[in-house]
Amino acid sequence: MALGPHGIAGLHGGGLDEEEAIVAPVAEINVTPLVDVMLVLLIIFMVAAPMMLAGVPLDLPKAGSSAVVRQEKPLIVSVTREGNVHLAGDVVANGALKARLDSLRAEHGDAMVHVRGDRGVDYGRMMSVLAALGEAGFARVSLIGEARPAAGS
């Protein structure tokens, strides 16, 4: 085989034409390293995602401080074990809760709302009351519970 001007062997054994000497370069991308990196990232996210959702389990200390004194009187929303909602001492029907909260929002503005719920209240019922408070525009909502007695008393 004879080598042409560009170092490429001719097929005919003789000199090479200009067209035969030009060979297109092979353009292939090796995707194996890319796949390896993507699989490693996928594994990292699969391991880290449950930690981001669940949070870190902590044993938080109990505070023995006195209650904070507020200048403004909060709006009290109570949910009984049966799911009845009491707003400022009055029982509110399920369908009238949103309208009543809207009127209280117009009357009191951005008042602090304390939500008290019985231990046996259905979780879905509590979430619907909290959603109604959010839709009415109350941004300062606190869930109220009983303080645990001190260890020595």
Choice between 105 and 43, residue whose per-residue pLDDT is larger? 43
CA distance 90 to 104: 13
Give the pLDDT band (50/70/90) at residue 37.
very high
Burial of 5-44, coded b for 16+ CB within 10 Å and e otherwise, reads eeeeeeeeeeebeeeeeeeeeeeeeeeeeeeeeeeeeeee
Three-state DSSP at 81 gives coil
Residue 79 makes CB contacts below 8 A (sequence gap 6+) with: 85, 86, 115, 116, 117, 118, 121, 125, 126, 129
38-56 pLDDT per residue, tens:
999 999 999 888 777 655 5
**Phi and psi torsions of 79, nearest 5°:** -120, 120
Whether 11 shows a pLDDT value over 80: the answer reads no
Query: Where are the alpha helices (H) located in the chain, listed in sequence order?
Result: 18-21, 32-54, 97-108, 123-136
CA distance 96 to 99: 5
